Chain A
């Protein structure tokens, strides 16, 4: 299970595959106020990424993976820090 609800957080862990996209969307829709912690995520399928982009939850933490850090993180936080 790479998408799970835990202690007031939606956690994304390990490799988040296409199958997770729907589960993530439903979790976020059901708990729109919860932050999403993706610090232990190692890879993200495009389908998961677009769920995050469409719903724009508050993100928490920063993944170890350099690609996610350098290229995906700015996309997901774009426009919120400004």
Chain B
């Protein structure tokens, strides 16, 4: 896959997850403004990256979401459940489309229609939400809902308005007036500008004009093309009076003055801001305003004037200069500064992406190859690089590449193109120029800067194909085996090479042993993932399901940081899903039932993980109605799972465990969520397959907790390699009791089989090549036999040769081979060979 697309898919999914988490958190706490910023950034980055690919419907949807979030940030739109639903729906679609993009390389044909539908719904929702939020603004036809009322006013306007508010004294009313005159209003005798003049306390005015104006020759001066936005320190009644004849064309809103204090600008990261943000907490209240003002003044010249931190600092300076300004006005710039140091993620990602694209195209061009192939390659390389440069906003360089490409095409060689792209790639490969603010490390800030860099460097994450780590693990395991042979050699070396040499060999062997074990531990660690990776899928799920069921549920997650092997963590999702659904469906009561039972209407569902030695324990607990042991007994008897007498003798706990029996269900009807009674049995099977146990504790009326216990690491399987019929196989060592070499004369035919006597017992002998239908191996004078124990019976298996003992990661057979009997799975050896591991139990039965 195109590496650019691959990166987009990976980052995209992360961003979707991040946005989902924060939206859900916002739903619980709509006041958490910093979450809005995170969600906004996630959508913004997604949108920006999607622009690199042919996925316009996705880009449009993301753009609409970004607009809505911008409206939220501007205070024009409230975080309402409907909005969160819509945004979650957008994320769902984006995720699905990423899947389509990965699988088919394109969006499905209905994407366009779907995008239009989604966007329409959001417009509808936000439009309505805005009207609700408007409150005083019952302007009806004023329209114009999509524009940002406040965004029209630049910083200087806002500061002037706030100065007027301060002058007018505390509690002075502030109004925002949006006036969009009817184009034919002049014919009614209206003069909008005269109305604006009549508005008392006008503090800011912005006049909107068509962009561009029609050519002056075509202009009709009697059609009003202007719009007016005003901020006024005036009471609402007098303003309404001024506009009473055009009330259908204006919207008047009372405004909180603090909403004008809004730093704006491009993101910009400067380490000093961090120190300042930290100092802000104490200093402001402690009254050391003068000191703070000086620091702000010192910092300002270092920042690009158009940047958001510069804007925040200008606001701070302005506020610090005005002791009468309410303290709350400073909340936003202070918060902005604290939030700001998050560097320009979107920008950085864009730079990374462009760097990768340019470098890759350069590499392709350097590949050489047949003329025809190179011509095709240079054409596509040029297109890709030009697109990437345009994406980065680098039109000049894009033009240069286009020219070089034309020249190359005309000359029939790709040299000009290579010459043009080479320097671009080199420049981008170099470390980025230091931002201006970091160039002058003022004494105390310097360590901060370094620490910030160190953090950035160590935070880099490498994504590696799981198979490579498994192969690494197998290699380490072979090293352990090889070192085992060295240990044997060291033991044998004395008589041949002298004790001193044998001693040194043992030393080397010990060092190797320690190193290899350390390496083994490290590689195992590489596969460890926090359980949070699975837990994080549940908040959304629980929210949706509980809503659908009309139940109120609070989800508690604990121990998300607990780590276990990737395979273990990933295999947890399905069982947890079953358990959570079961809990929501059967365990947790409706709010009415809960209130009747004297419990809080909101139920608690907890997912907890903890480490217990070399096991991981995950519990799913609810405070619902608990398991009705009598009902379980009855159902078990009715289902023929247990005798009535036995059922009577079962304690509550034991009865509860019956829910894990095959074919068990306590409910008569299958529900939409949990399906028929395979649920709990399926959970048990899945967990036991992974080497774990399930348990359940339940108390009637107070809740149920299901406990899953699993090994922390993928069980590495220890195998013995053998050769039979000229092929190598692995045999799980747990069933091999011993290996023996036997002169052929001691093998006797017994009826149609062969057998031998081992410690006074007759053991049946099978040839592995024959069992597997392979060509027979050589008949050496001695037979090599492994004695295996299957179902309590010993059998001899003759093989051509024994190999080494290895700890390997077993991969179950999948795809077409998934149901082939006789094989436990495969493993890849250090030399790349695939080794089949046999299931002798099945073969011998």
Q: Is the CB of B221 within 8 A of A53?
A: no
Q: A45-B193, A46-B193, A49-B193 are in contact. Are A29 and B217 (CB under 8 A)?
A: yes
* A44: contacting residue among B181, B193, B202, B214, CB under 8 A: B193
Taking CB atoms and an 8 Å cut-off, the chain B residues in 201-233 that contact chain A are 202, 205, 207, 209, 213-214, 216-217, 219, 221-222, 224-226
Q: Is the CB of B222 within 8 A of A18?
A: yes
* Chain A residues whose CB sits within 8 angstroms of the CB of B466 once the complex forms: none
Q: What CA separation (Å) do A67 and B205 show in the bound complex?
A: 11
* Chain A residues whose CB sits within 8 angstroms of the CB of B225 once the complex forms: 50, 54
Q: Is the CB of B202 within 8 A of A71?
A: yes
Indicate whether A75 reaches chain B with its CB closer than 8 angstroms.
yes
* A54: contacting residue among B197, B207, B209, CB under 8 A: B209
Q: Is the CB of A51 within 8 A of B221?
A: yes
Name the CB-closest residue of B to A78: B207
Indicate whether B488 reaches chain A with its CB closer than 8 angstroms.
no
Indicate whether A12 reaches chain B with its CB closer than 8 angstroms.
no
Q: Is the CB of B216 within 8 A of A53?
A: no
Q: Is the CB of B222 within 8 A of A21?
A: yes
Give B176-215 as 1s and 0s: 1 = Cβ < 8 Å from A's Cβ atoms. Answer: 0000010000100011111011000010010101000110
Q: Is the CB of A47 within 8 A of B209?
A: no
* Chain A residues whose CB sits within 8 angstroms of the CB of B191 once the complex forms: 18, 45-46
Q: Is the CB of A18 within 8 A of B217?
A: no
* Chain A residues whose CB sits within 8 angstroms of the CB of B194 once the complex forms: 43, 45-46
Q: Is the CB of B216 within 8 A of A50?
A: no
* Chain A residues whose CB sits within 8 angstroms of the CB of B197 once the complex forms: 43, 67
Give A17-57 as 1s and 0s: 1 = Cβ < 8 Å from B's Cβ atoms. Answer: 01001101100110000000000000111111111011100
Q: What CA separation (Å) do A21 and B216 show in the bound complex?
A: 13
* Chain A residues whose CB sits within 8 angstroms of the CB of B224 once the complex forms: 46-47, 50
Q: A18-B191, A28-B216 are in contact. Are A47 and B202 (CB under 8 A)?
A: no
Q: Is the CB of A47 within 8 A of B216?
A: no
Listed residue (A51, A71, A75) with the most chain B CB atoms within 10 angstroms of its CB: A71
Give min CB distance, A23 to chain B, whole Å.
Answer: 9
* Chain B residues whose CB sits within 8 angstroms of the CB of A46 once the complex forms: 181, 186, 190-194, 224, 226
* Chain B residues whose CB sits within 8 angstroms of the CB of A47 once the complex forms: 186, 221-222, 224
Q: Is the CB of B219 within 8 A of A53?
A: no
Q: A46-B181, A46-B226, A71-B202 are in contact. Are A51 and B193 (CB under 8 A)?
A: no
Q: A46-B181, A46-B193 are in contact. Are A53 and B222 (CB under 8 A)?
A: no
Q: What CA separation (Å) do A46 and B187 show in the bound complex?
A: 12
Q: A22-B222, A46-B181, A49-B193 are in contact. Are A75 and B207 (CB under 8 A)?
A: yes
Q: Is the CB of A53 within 8 A of B226?
A: yes
* Chain A residues whose CB sits within 8 angstroms of the CB of B216 once the complex forms: 25, 28-29, 54-55
Q: Is the CB of B226 within 8 A of A50?
A: yes
Q: What CA separation (Å) do A46 and B209 show in the bound complex?
A: 12
* Chain A residues whose CB sits within 8 angstroms of the CB of B222 once the complex forms: 18, 21-22, 47
* Chain A residues whose CB sits within 8 angstroms of the CB of B196 once the complex forms: 71
Give B219-250 as 1s and 0s: 1 = Cβ < 8 Å from A's Cβ atoms. Answer: 10110111000000000000000000000000
* Chain B residues whose CB sits within 8 angstroms of the CB of A71 once the complex forms: 196, 202, 205
Q: Is the CB of A51 within 8 A of B226?
A: no
Name the CB-closest residue of B to A22: B221
* Chain A residues whose CB sits within 8 angstroms of the CB of B214 once the complex forms: 54
Give min CB distance, A41 to chain B, whole Å.
Answer: 12
Q: What CA separation (Å) do A53 and B194 show in the bound complex?
A: 17
Q: What CA separation (Å) do A45 and B197 show in the bound complex?
A: 11
Q: Is the CB of A53 within 8 A of B209?
A: yes
Q: What CA separation (Å) do A53 and B205 show in the bound complex?
A: 15
Give min CB distance, A77 to chain B, whole Å.
Answer: 13
Q: Is the CB of A50 within 8 A of B181?
A: no
* Chain B residues whose CB sits within 8 angstroms of the CB of A43 once the complex forms: 194, 197
* B186: contacting residue among A18, A25, A51, A54, CB under 8 A: A18
Q: Is the CB of A50 within 8 A of B217?
A: no
* Chain A residues whose CB sits within 8 angstroms of the CB of B186 once the complex forms: 18, 46-47
* Chain B residues whose CB sits within 8 angstroms of the CB of A54 once the complex forms: 209, 213-214, 216, 219, 225
* Chain B residues whose CB sits within 8 angstroms of the CB of A49 once the complex forms: 193, 207, 226
* Chain B residues whose CB sits within 8 angstroms of the CB of A29 once the complex forms: 216-217
Q: What CA separation (Å) do A31 and B222 show in the bound complex?
A: 21
Q: A46-B193, A50-B209 are in contact. Are A25 and B219 (CB under 8 A)?
A: yes
* Chain A residues whose CB sits within 8 angstroms of the CB of B207 once the complex forms: 49, 53, 75
Give min CB distance, B196 to chain A, whole Å.
Answer: 7
Name the CB-closest residue of B to A54: B213
Give min CB distance, B816 to chain A, whole Å.
Answer: 70
Listed residue (B192, B207, B216, B221) with the most chain A CB atoms within 10 angstroms of its CB: B221
Name the CB-closest residue of B to A50: B226
Q: What CA separation (Å) do A14 and B207 show in the bound complex?
A: 23
Give min CB distance, A79 to chain B, whole Å.
Answer: 11
Name the CB-closest residue of A to B230: A71
* Chain B residues whose CB sits within 8 angstroms of the CB of A22 once the complex forms: 221-222
* Chain B residues whose CB sits within 8 angstroms of the CB of A24 once the complex forms: 221
* Chain B residues whose CB sits within 8 angstroms of the CB of A28 once the complex forms: 216
Listed residue (A21, A43, A50, A51) with the most chain B CB atoms within 10 angstroms of its CB: A50
Q: What CA separation (Å) do A75 and B205 show in the bound complex?
A: 9
Give min CB distance, B597 to chain A, whole Å.
Answer: 67
Q: What CA separation (Å) do A62 and B193 show in the bound complex?
A: 18
Q: What CA separation (Å) do A44 and B196 show in the bound complex?
A: 12
Give min CB distance, B178 to chain A, whole Å.
Answer: 16
Q: What CA separation (Å) do A22 and B191 show in the bound complex?
A: 16
Q: Is the CB of B202 within 8 A of A50?
A: no
Q: What CA separation (Å) do A67 and B207 show in the bound complex?
A: 14
Q: What CA separation (Å) do A3 and B677 show in the bound complex?
A: 90
* Chain B residues whose CB sits within 8 angstroms of the CB of A51 once the complex forms: 219, 221
Q: What CA separation (Å) do A48 and B214 show in the bound complex?
A: 16
Give min CB distance, A64 to chain B, whole Å.
Answer: 15
Give min CB distance, A65 to chain B, whole Å.
Answer: 9
* Chain A residues whose CB sits within 8 angstroms of the CB of B219 once the complex forms: 25, 51, 54
Q: What CA separation (Å) do A48 and B221 show in the bound complex?
A: 8
Q: What CA separation (Å) do A50 and B202 show in the bound complex?
A: 20
Give min CB distance, A2 to chain B, whole Å.
Answer: 15
Listed residue (B196, B214, B219) with the most chain A CB atoms within 10 angstroms of its CB: B219
Name the CB-closest residue of A to B206: A75
Listed residue (B193, B196, B213, B226) with the most chain A CB atoms within 10 angstroms of its CB: B193
Give min CB distance, A5 to chain B, whole Å.
Answer: 17
Give min CB distance, B309 to chain A, whole Å.
Answer: 23
Give min CB distance, B308 to chain A, whole Å.
Answer: 21
Name the CB-closest residue of B to A67: B197
Give min CB distance, B245 to chain A, whole Å.
Answer: 15
* Chain A residues whose CB sits within 8 angstroms of the CB of B213 once the complex forms: 53-54
Q: What CA separation (Å) do A41 and B190 show in the bound complex?
A: 20
Listed residue (A21, A22, A43, A47) with the most chain B CB atoms within 10 angstroms of its CB: A47
Q: What CA separation (Å) do A44 and B662 show in the bound complex?
A: 88
Taking CB atoms and an 8 Å cut-off, the chain B residues in 402-437 that contact chain A are none
* Chain B residues whose CB sits within 8 angstroms of the CB of A55 once the complex forms: 216
Name the CB-closest residue of A to B202: A71
Name the CB-closest residue of A to B222: A47
Q: What CA separation (Å) do A49 and B190 show in the bound complex?
A: 14
Q: What CA separation (Å) do A67 and B193 show in the bound complex?
A: 10
Give min CB distance, A69 to chain B, whole Å.
Answer: 12
Give min CB distance, B242 to chain A, whole Å.
Answer: 14
* Chain B residues whose CB sits within 8 angstroms of the CB of A18 once the complex forms: 186, 191, 222
Name the CB-closest residue of B to A45: B191
Name the CB-closest residue of A to B210: A54
* Chain A residues whose CB sits within 8 angstroms of the CB of B192 once the complex forms: 46
Mind listing 11 A-B residue pairs with CB under 8 Å?
A: A18-B191, A21-B221, A25-B219, A43-B197, A45-B193, A46-B181, A46-B190, A46-B224, A53-B209, A54-B214, A71-B196
Which 9 residue pairs spanning A and B have beta carbons closest together?
A21-B221, A54-B213, A46-B193, A46-B192, A71-B205, A75-B207, A67-B197, A51-B221, A25-B221
Besides A18-B191, A22-B222, 15 more A-B contacts (Cβ < 8 Å) are A46-B181, A46-B191, A46-B194, A46-B224, A47-B221, A47-B222, A47-B224, A48-B221, A49-B193, A51-B219, A53-B207, A54-B214, A54-B216, A54-B219, A75-B207
